[in-house]
Structure formats: C-alpha cells, structure tokens
Amino acid sequence: MPAPPLLIIGNIAPGANYRMKLGLSPATLAELERSAIGQQPPRHGEIRPGHVLDGRFAITRIITHGGMSTIYEAEDLDNDRRPVALKIPMEKLGMDPKTMSRFEREAEIARQVDHPFVMKFFAAPPSQSRPYLVMELLEGETLYHAMSRQVCVPEAEALKMASGVCQALQYLHEREICHRDLKPENIMLCHDGSIRLMDFGIARSVRSPRLTFVGFAPGTPHYMAPERVQCKRGDARTDIYGLGAILYEMLTGVIAFEHEDPMVIMNARVTGDPEAPRRVNPAISPQAEEIVLRAMERDPARRYQTAAAMQADLDGPGQVELTGRWRRLEPATPAKRAWRKARLIAPWILIPLALQVLGFLLLWHHLIKK
C-alpha cells in the first residue's frame, strides 16, 4: 500500500506535532489528513493504523486483540487530536445477533455512566460506518499485569484498590447496573494513582431484557459467583463476590479454587468455600480475611449487601467485627467425572430403551384386547 501523500510531503510520522513543521492550524491539519489518508475502509473492512474512521478518528496503533473485539488507539480529529481508544467488534462476529446485542447493551450502559473510577465513554458520530465505542485513552496497566510481577499485593495497597472498585460499583448499582465480569484484567491502575473499572461487555441493566445463553452464564470462572455458575441472573451482590475473589488473589497470591478444569472450578464455587486466606498467607490480618470471606459467601444473603458497606470495612479494617468465618469454611464436594459423563450418555441409552418398553407395552395391551 503506498504511503499517504501527507506523510510523504511532511515526512512526519502519525501522531507527531505538525504545527511546528508545517505551520498549519488544527482544523486545516485535520482536513488535510482526511484528504490524504482517505476515508474508505481498508480491504475486507479491516481497520489498520493510518486509516481515518468515519473521517474523524485517525487510527495510530492496535492496543490489544480480544475474543470479541479489538481496541485501537486513535486521535479525534474533531477535538484537537485528543487521544482516544476505539473498541471495534471483530468483523467475523459483526453479523452475530447475540454478539451485537451485547455490544449494543454495552453502548447503552456507556451512555449512562460518568464516574471518576469508571471508564469514560465519549459520544460517537451519529452516523457510523460500523459499530464501535469511543473511550478515554488511559495510561497505566491492568491489575492483572501488576499482580504478575509480585507474589502478593501489600495489604494496605490491596484494600485501597478494592475500596476504589467499591466506589465504582456503588455508583453503578445505584443506577441498577451490574458489571458481572469483575476480574483483574478489567481493572486499570492508572499512572496518576487512580483506577478505572472497564469492559461492560456482559454488564446488565435491570431494565434490559435478559439474554439467554447455551451451556452456562457468561463470565470468567475464576471470579464467577455461585449464582452465576447456576445460570441465575444475579444482582449487585454478584459483583461483590467477584471483588472478593480478586481481593483474595491480591492478598494471597493464589486464585481461589484454582484448577485447570473450568468445570471443577465452577463446581467448587457452588459446593464449597475457598481455603482460609490466612492459611495461604499468614501475614494477612484477621480483619482482611474477614472482609474477603464475607464478600465470598456462597449465599448472597450472607455477603455484604452493598458495595458501600464493603467499602466501609475496607477503609476502616480496624473496626471490622471478627466472626470466625474461617472456622466455618466447608471444602468443596469433589466433582464426580464418571457421574457427569454418565449423565451425558444416559439419555442416549435410556430414551431408546424407554421407547422399546413403551412399544412392548402397547403391543401387549393390543394382544390382551384381542
């Protein structure tokens, strides 16, 4: 593909400061770049660095690929080249109604939220050539990457981060929005010390129609609440469980119910409790352990009922009442693989057998009548 004319004339890499070298106003620069790079999408609808999406967003690089979408860094030519992030669904999923329904739901929720600890969304052009979301471009790293460099997060730091997430959750829950996919990958630690809660791909508003899924509910098994494993709708307390699981990992350095088989993980969440955090890391305070175990109660009624209540304990751990929850923990009932397999095979054996028995009974009844 030939280089865009503007880049040849100015000999400036995308994103550089054109004003000093060309002496042009921002409006003129934006117009020149639109004309030089062009507004037609690349072949097969692929978005690449150098493309200007909808005549407004100049793509500079790919930030990350996900299973459902790709995140791009771009410059908003209509807003003084403001750096933004664009979330664009994978082209192969663009025609999938379920995928687009989730994306539209995320866009709907994005229009409702405005909180310093929640990813900020900007208004997209009214006429879009393809579906996408416009988000603030954050400088920092995810909690997942931060935890990969250290065994455990210091307790005071972990409680502070969890408190920030609670603030974001309380804001969302007051607007009847549940995130439903809390995990370290969806928490950004910004360079300025703040946090952002990200990715509302499977978030739910209580006013939205329920989506149905084949198999089990969407989410990440390592942080999924028991009621979500059981395909129940869940509520604000579902997010509290997810945050408790994240805090468990930050304090202990291990994932609760860790196992290579997702089915074993989900079975353990439904039938048992995690190992006591202080048994894994004795340096944890009894108060921090109490907070984690209360958030991770299997019964939602026994958890914190609001994120604000959990935040109060995180901000004042010295006032946390110790109830001895760790003494009442129950081990998970082992999943019986043989029984699981038998349940899958049984219908294929029992249904034909039942039909044969039914046929025999009908024949016997017919003969008796004669």
Domain positions in the chain: 21-136, 140-337
pTM for the model stands at 0.74
User: Is the predicted pLDDT of residue 191 greater than 80, yes or no?
Assistant: yes
* Residues β-bridged to residue 129: none
DSSP state for residue 191 in the 8-state scheme: T
How is residue 60 written in tokens?
Answer: 């500079």
Does 181 participate in catalysis according to the annotation?
yes
User: Is the predicted pLDDT of residue 251 greater than 50, yes or no?
Assistant: yes
Measured at the CA of 255, the angle between CA 251 and CA 258, to 5 degrees, comes to: 155
pLDDT computed for residue 6 by the predictor: 31
166, 307 in Cβ contact below 8 A?
A: yes
| Helical (H) or strand (E) element with 353 | helix 337-369
Question: Cα separations (Å) of 12 from 19, 20, 59, 274, 346?
Answer: 11, 11, 15, 56, 68
How is residue 137 written in tokens?
Answer: 């471009």
Q: Which fold has domain 21-136?
A: Phosphorylase Kinase; domain 1 (3.30.200)
DSSP state for residue 12 in the 8-state scheme: -
What does the pLDDT average to over 92-120? 79
| The domain over range 140-337 is classified in CATH as 3.20.19.10 | no
Alpha-carbon distance of 104 to 35, in angstroms, equals 31
pLDDT band at 42 (very low <50, low <70, confident <90, very high): very low
pLDDT tens digits, 43-59: 445 788 999 999 999 99
How is residue 155 written in tokens?
Answer: 């307790």
Average pLDDT, the chain: 79
289, 248 in Cβ contact below 8 A?
A: no
pLDDT tens digits, 223-234: 989 998 888 878
Own/partner contacts of 64-70, CB < 8 Å, gap of 24 or more, are: 68/93, 68/99, 68/102, 68/103, 68/201, 69/103, 69/201
Catalytically annotated residue among 181, 199, 273, 313: 181
